[in-house]
Amino acid sequence: MFTEKDSEQFKAKGIDPKTVEKQINQFKKGFPYANIVAPATIKNGIVKLSDKDRDFYISIFEKKHNNEDIVKFIPASGAASRMFKELFAVLNNEKSINEDKSFNSAYNFFMNIEKFAFYNDLKKCCNKESDLKKEHKKVLKYLLTKTGLNYGNLPKGLLKFHKYKNEERTAAEEHLAEGGEYAKSKNGVKIHFTVSPEHTKIFKKHTDKLTGKYEERFNTQYIISFSTQKPSTDTIAVDLKNNIFRNSDGSILFRPGGHGALIENLNDIEADIIFIKNIDNVVPDRLKNDTVTYKKAIAGILIETRDKIFNYIRLLKKYYDKKLINEIKNFLETEFFATLDNKFISKSDAEKAEYLIEKLNRPLRVCGMVKNEGEPGGGPFFVQKESGSVSLQIVESAQIDMSNPEKAEIVKNATHFNPVDLVLSVRDYTGKKFDLNKFVDENTGFISQKSKDGKELKALELPGLWNGAMADWNTIFVEVPISVFNPVKTVNDLLKDAHSA
């Protein structure tokens, strides 16, 4: 199947040929739909905290966080080009400015241009005499291309999001400010960005300028680190007949494996507790309180649950009886809303103890969930495996067979969605780091249709970072307020009140 040149390409990327063969077979057989059996809702899969509960878990976090090695992990490799899709269309003459702003976001952009945090930088590029509300082509050229700010080609993290009285802040800077509020431990504030290789240098230069400012503000040390998506996680492309898609020079076309590839980057992080949040979901200081409050609360839940798990494993390693087995079974059913395998009841006590240790001794995640207000994205569901076990999972719409009336009804009754608000424990009861690759469900990837050089192709995305890549983790869902979810998907999202400093 593969040529000598192909073998050299695999070696250069660090990809095992067997992995490529496996991916080709995956294209042929496709991915099974997730067997969702019910939506996770309040009191049935999602924990709703009272004010008293919330304050209790915050107190746990505040008592113990200094003894934890904490990292704030931020996927930040995405380019900002999609933020400016309509503005690019105007620049390229594909679209005109429509003065009815309710139908045309480009018009809305220009009518409010002075409100953006990057306005002063843009004005300097265009020169002060320019009328930024009328000279559309000129303004967009200086905003989006290398002639000026080059915002159309930069990562989101380096764009100025918020305008303060005496400064403007990028998304990356807001994460530094936020990290000082809840990711501080005895080791300082550790922040890790995953970035594209071409942006690593400029990203590092940007954060290097800022660390002193926040070290002084929070009286601590900032340790900023970076990683890029590994070439070994790229996936092969095939044509519509599932034959290898080759470039014009005969080389195999590989594509990035999607954010699920970042499980490799996450696996390299040395920490007791890891917070995950997307690069574009930040707010100015005046609105950070809810984010900080609930980050601490869900981290407190993580610490308490982790400590219980470690205690149970140690007990089971020493002895077991029916009382302890039933107590731990009840713990799994009430804390994780898990249903055990069909064969559990017929096992001996020794087999049950072994089974429960295996169930407990896994990475742990606590995920904030927001009430669904029409936002796209994955949601919390109960998913059943062939063994009969049922667990909480974050499931994307593409993983669900919406042509099945029963599954469509389950989705219709869903109440919450995933804002990517996670806190993780990735060490076992002995302090050894889990190999996160062992907890991935390989059957939860995606196949999408793309094109290159005018030819149709099929692309494969690895199991999503918070979907299939964490499928075999122990999971707790907690309701968090909508105020913690303020992503910037288009440039005009920055005009919303949540992004006004």
**Would you place residue 100 in the very low, low, confident or very high pLDDT band (cuts 50, 70, 90)?**
low
- As for how many domains the chain has, the answer is 2
- Window from 129-133, 149-153, 311-315, 478-482 with minimum mean pLDDT: 129-133
- Chain position carrying tokens 């890029």: 228
The mean per-residue pLDDT over the stretch 6-22 comes to 94
DSSP-based three-state secondary structure for 49: coil
- The arithmetic mean of pLDDT across residues 18-28, rounded, is 94
Q: What's the average model confidence in pLDDT over 176-193?
A: 96
Q: Kindly state whether residues 132 and 192 are assigned to the same domain.
A: no
Domain range holding 62?
4-78+158-499
Claim to verify: residue 70 and residue 131 sit in the same structural domain: no
> Residues 165, 67: one domain?
yes
SS3 391: strand
CB atoms within 10 A of CB 403: 8
- Computed over every residue of the chain, the mean pLDDT equals 93
**What CATH number does the domain containing 170 carry?**
3.90.550
pLDDT, position 99: 64
Query: Are the CB atoms for 396 and 378 separated by under 8 Å?
Result: yes
pLDDT band at 348 (very low <50, low <70, confident <90, very high): very high
Asked if residue 290 and residue 407 are part of one domain, the reply reads yes
**Collapsed DSSP state (helix, strand, coil) of residue 339:** strand
- pLDDT bracket for residue 141 (50, 70, 90): very high
pLDDT-derived band at 278 (thresholds 50, 70, 90) equals very high
Regarding whether 143 and 50 lie in a shared domain, the answer is no
The predicted pLDDT at position 128 comes to: 64
Distance spanning both ends of the chain, measured CA to CA = 58
| pLDDT number for residue 31 | 92
Q: Of all residues in the chain, what percent carry a pLDDT higher than 90? A: 83
Amino acid at 146: K
Whose CA is closest to 478, among 332, 333, 327, 300?
300
Q: Which of 121, 139, 154 is a domain's end point?
A: 154
Residue 129: per-residue pLDDT: 58
Given pLDDT bands bounded at 50, 70 and 90, which one contains residue 272? very high
Does one domain contain both 185 and 300? yes
Q: Residue 370 above 70 pLDDT?
A: yes
The predicted pLDDT at position 126 comes to 87
411: pLDDT strictly greater than 90: yes
Q: Can you say how many angstroms the Cα of residue 35 is from the centroid of all Cα atoms in its chain? A: 22
CB-hemisphere CA count at 13 Å for 135? 14
Average pLDDT over residues 339-344: 90
Query: What pLDDT does 352 receive?
Result: 96
**Mean pLDDT within 326-338:** 96
How many other CB atoms are found less than 10 A from the CB of residue 482?
14
Q: How confident is residue 101, by pLDDT bands cut at 50, 70 and 90?
A: low
Among 133, 154, 175, residue at a domain's last position: 154
* Both structure tokens of 459: 């692309």
On whether both 234 and 309 belong to a single domain, the answer is: yes
Give the separation between CA 25 and CA 28, rounded to whole angstroms: 5
| pLDDT at residue 386 tops 90 | no
pLDDT > 90? residue 387: no
pLDDT tens, position by position, 220-262? 999 999 999 999 999 999 999 999 999 999 999 999 998 899 9
Residues 379 and 329 occupy one common structural domain: yes
In the predicted model, what is the mean pLDDT of residues 70-82?
A: 92
What's the pLDDT tens digit per position in 417-469? 999 999 999 999 999 999 999 999 998 988 988 998 889 999 999 999 999 99
| Mean pLDDT, rounded, for 71-93 | 91
164, 223: one domain: yes
Q: What span, in angstroms and rounded, lies between the C-alpha atoms of 86 and 492?
A: 11
> Please, what is the angle between helix 200-218 and helix 171-182, to 10°?
40
Q: Assess contact for 278 and 422: CB atoms under 8 A.
A: no
DSSP secondary structure code for residue 154 in this structure: S
Element (H, E) at 188: strand 188-194
User: From CA 173, how far away is CA 158, in angstroms rounded?
Assistant: 8
Q: Which residues contact 409 (CB under 8 A, 6 or more apart)?
A: none
Sequence letter at residue 103: F
Statement to judge: residues 92 and 211 lie in one domain: no
pLDDT at 98: 72
pLDDT of the residue at 116? 97
124 shares its domain with 228:
no
Residues 10 and 136 in one domain: no
Q: Is the pLDDT of residue 133 over 90?
A: no
Q: How confident is the model at residue 134 (pLDDT cuts 50, 70, 90)?
A: confident
Is 210 a residue whose pLDDT tops 60?
yes
pLDDT at 489: 94
Domain boundary among 126, 154, 182: 154
